Amino acid sequence: VQLQASGGGLVQAGGSLRLSCAASGTIFSINAMNWYRQVPGKERELVAARTSGGATNYAHYVKGRFTIFSGYAENTVYLQMNSLKPEDTAVYYCNLQIRRVFGGKMRDYWGQGTQVTVSS
């Protein structure tokens, strides 16, 4: 299984970006879809999470501005980021918990990271 993240870039404060993360390979089911972010010198932190049932959860500092969703394309998760702030600048990583075959173990897979830079 490989995850391909895209959609990062440079945007002015107040702008929007949509990140995508597409999973390819042998996939039986996806249990959870998550977006994390990391800035240099700090630990990776969970930004948004979505269960297979559609329940979502957000870090308090992005609630109301970011939306995690899937459905446009198979095995793809998105992060819509609105009203971006300079403090949102980070490398964003997607994380999917995937079961590759029926009865197999659920494993974590990570995308390669995509840089989001918000200028003031």
- Report the pLDDT value the prediction gives residue 69, as an integer from 0 to 100: 95
* pLDDT (tens digit per residue) in 80-107: 999 999 999 999 999 999 999 999 999 9
* pLDDT (tens digit per residue) in 43-56: 999 999 999 999 99
Any idea how long the chain is?
120
Which residues, other chains included, contact 30 with Cβ-Cβ below 8 Å and sequence gap of 6+? 23, 52, 75, 96, 97, 98, 99
**DSSP β-ladder status, 9-12 and 114-119:** parallel
